[in-house]
Structure 1
Amino acid sequence: MNQVIEFIKSDRLKEKPDLESLGFGKHFTDHMFILDYNKVQGWHSPRIVPFEPLVLSPSAMVFHYGQAIFEGLKAYKTNDGRTLLFRPDKNIERLNRSCERMCIPPIDPDLVLEAIVRLVEVERDWIPNKEGTSLYIRPFIIATEPYLGVRPASEYKFMIILSPVGAYYSGRQLVPVKIYVEDEYVRAVPGGVGHVKTSGNYAASLYAQKKAEELGYDQVLWLDGKENKYVEEVGSMNIFFKINGEVYTPKLNGSILSGITRDSVIQLVKDWGVPVHEERISIEDIFNAYKNGELEEVFGTGTAAVISPVGELKWNEHKMLLNNSETGEFSKKLYETITNIQYGKAEDKFGWTKEV
């Protein structure tokens, strides 16, 4: 595909937000990218336009049957003024895997990458330079065909919007979170859509997330949907356990999202010579390791927070207080290593970053 991206400059530029109160996903830049699809033209008319509301028919199929997928990655400002993306090729690969599962036509990966790069170039002044901040990039696809029959849509929009962000957890960076283990509701099952980034997965998680917050917890750790005993993932991140000097994480089984940060952590830990195990892990095994004094650290991984150390796990009546509710040395090392690569402060021996 060789399409020229049109650029329509906004004539009403916004005031940049205060870097001390960015939060996550509250502010949006001046422009967005749009690409349309229909069966005759395929994906067509790539353009960068002013950020503005969409006009959609009330019968647009996304509203009724949930054909919607998304991705999340970031652009980082280095100390010497460069702009870096972190493993955008992996996000684009996963975007097209989500397309396949949700019956959405795939998009040329080169066009997606060009769109991300061009939009970030246009909005370069929006990339915050305060420690721990970045420009969040949200590509997504929605079904726009006006039709109420149940079938894959024949019209779609692929869009990219940008948001300058601070720490994911309300201004806190690398502060241990409290996790509630959900043993009543389930997020996904093998054969379903748990392994893709479709909007419905997140809608299905909200009730349990609300319950967890009411109990004083930050996130939900989901168990498998069949036996309700094997650890899967947290609402916004994959999960890792450090037990007796070795690292364990649930293996990808068709109901767990294949996280880019998860993959990066596995590569790093192997490079450090620490054994890594991707396998089925029961919550009872985790509790027994805790009782025996073998559970050294628990942490989550994801684009938004990078590394989230876990200070407490609540499972039924059991409360597991981890590492004195402080950030463990292993979690801290992972966070510093990955973020130093992302911000261009350390050697990128894996070739993960792409300069814009």
Structure 2
Amino acid sequence: MMLKTPNEIDIVRAKSSKITEVDFENLSFGNIFTDHMLVCDFKNGKWEKPIIKPYEPFLIDPSAKVFHYGQAIFEGMKAYKDNQDDVWLFRPDENFHRFNKSASRMAMPEVPEDIFIGGLKTIVDLERDWVKKGLGNTLYLRPFMIAIGSGVIAQPSTQYRFMIILSPARSYYQGEVKVIIAEHYSRAANGGIGAAKAAGNYSAQFYPQKLAQEKGFQQIIWTDDATHTKLEEAGTMNVFFRINDTIITAPVSERILDGVTRKSLIALAKREGINIEERDVLVNEIVKAAKDGSLKEIFGAGTAAVVSPIVGFQYQEHYYELPKLENSLAMHLKEEITKIQYKLADDTFGWTVKI
């Protein structure tokens, strides 16, 4: 995959590295950050020159519009190191295009490819020692943009800050995942910003997720806002259902995020000859399949977890346990996508980009 090389980016190196203080065998997801960050501001109608500098807090005006009107978007990506110590990105072009779709929906300026992709390549190359070899070891990449223009009038900002921060990571979810199907709360609505990776989408989930966790569930399977009869996403992930030997997932829409892992799993399933359907998934359909034994698997898919199997779900106070399978299609697809990401299998799709 060929992507634009970066324009010149100023680099101010940290005086010393924190890397020797990090226990890479016992990482808590998203709490440790590398030595550097990329910063690029949008002012006076244009993007300024990006700079990579030591990771540190920064000052911002209390009236910055990100605090008052929520103009904030982000992406989640990973870098991988193969057995030859080469570092790879996975489908960064998809994250780049989705980031700018989110920016457009939130009335924010689009980020040029040489800043987004070029910035990623440059900072990951600088921090390549933070990418550890071995399955499960990754460097999580968080590009994001916030409105930094001051003033509390309710209108879009005229100034923005694009940044990239990096965090060494291992597996995201630990232990069994049980979910509850939402009957009242919704993740997103038609005409809203559900298809954007906007910060507000995630904060709105926290309260219903807290209620679910108090009942002993790790996540929620969200239903459509109008009827609560269609199953759409699981927590922060796209969700898949296996009935007999067919995998079903909801189509992307204004309410459902166009996940990079989601579309990759669909492509892999088609290559493997697995029957997969993108269509509305009804609550009643899944409950019926759970009762008659044809529901074999439910799994979430996203950058952080890759594939997260779900062991059971609750709906209307009834809990349905899923069978424990030796021939899990979820685990097969996870293995196939992971082998591509770590360069343990040929990338026939052209998804990987060498740093």
Q: Is the 8 A contact 2:14 2:54 kept in 1?
A: yes
1:345 aligns with 344
Which deviates more, 2-11 or 262-271? 2-11
Which deviates more, 197-206 or 315-324? 315-324
Render the CA deviation track for 1:134-185: whole Å, top value 9, x for unaligned. Answer: 000000000000111011100000000000011101xx3xx54111212121
**Is there any run of 5+ residues in structure 2 with no aligned partner, and where?**
none
1:144 aligns with 148
How do 1:46-57 and structure 2 match up within 5 A?
46-57=50-61
Letter in 2 for 1:21: N
Classify the secondary structure of the residue corresponding to 2:60: coil
TM-score, structure 2 normalization: 0.96
Classify the secondary structure of the residue corresponding to 2:48: strand
Letter in 2 for 1:227: T
Q: Is the 8 A contact 2:7 2:114 kept in 1?
A: no
Residue 36 (structure 2) aligned to one of 24, 31, 39: 31
State the distance in 2 between where 1:315 and 1:82 align.
46
What's the % identity of the aligned pairs?
43
Q: Is the 8 A contact 1:176 1:327 kept in 2?
A: no
Q: Is the 8 A contact 1:311 1:327 kept in 2?
A: no
2:170 matches 1:166: yes
Q: How many residues align?
A: 350
Q: Is the 8 A contact 1:176 1:308 kept in 2?
A: no
- 1:328 and 1:39, CA in 2 relative to 1: closer, same or farther beyond 3 A? farther
Render the CA deviation track for 1:118-143: whole Å, top value 9, x for unaligned. Answer: 00011011112243110000000000
1:67 aligns with 71
Classify the secondary structure of the residue corresponding to 1:21: coil
Letter in 1 for 2:105: R
1:336 aligns with 335
Classify the secondary structure of the residue corresponding to 1:49: strand
Classify the secondary structure of the residue corresponding to 1:183: coil
Which deviates more, 212-221 or 257-266? 212-221
Classify the secondary structure of the residue corresponding to 1:45: coil
Q: Is the 8 A contact 1:242 1:295 kept in 2?
A: yes
**Is there any run of 5+ residues in structure 1 with no aligned partner, and where?**
none
State the distance in 1 between where 2:18 and 2:326 align.
38
2:108 aligns with 104
1:281 aligns with 281
1:311 CA displacement: 0.4
State the distance in 2 between where 1:301 and 1:349 align.
21
Letter in 2 for 1:110: D
- 1:165 and 1:21, CA in 2 relative to 1: closer, same or farther beyond 3 A? same
State the distance in 1 between where 2:248 and 2:152 align.
45
2:204 aligns with 204
Residue 160 (structure 2) aligned to one of 148, 151, 156: 156
Which deviates more, 345-354 or 266-275? 266-275
Q: Is the 8 A contact 2:85 2:133 kept in 1?
A: no
2:311 matches 1:311: yes
Residue 24 (structure 2) aligned to one of 14, 19, 27: 19
1:267 CA displacement: 0.5
2:191 aligns with 191
Letter in 1 for 2:196: V
1:110 CA displacement: 3.1
1:296 CA displacement: 1.1
State the distance in 1 between where 2:77 and 2:326 align.
24
1:275 CA displacement: 2.0
State the distance in 2 between where 1:322 and 1:250 align.
20
Render the CA deviation track for 1:214-245: whole Å, top value 9, x for unaligned. Answer: 11111111111111111110122100011121
State the distance in 2 between where 1:158 and 1:323 align.
45
Q: Is the 8 A contact 1:224 1:230 kept in 2?
A: yes
2:117 aligns with 113
Which deviates more, 7-16 or 141-150? 7-16
Letter in 1 for 2:193: V
2:298 matches 1:294: no
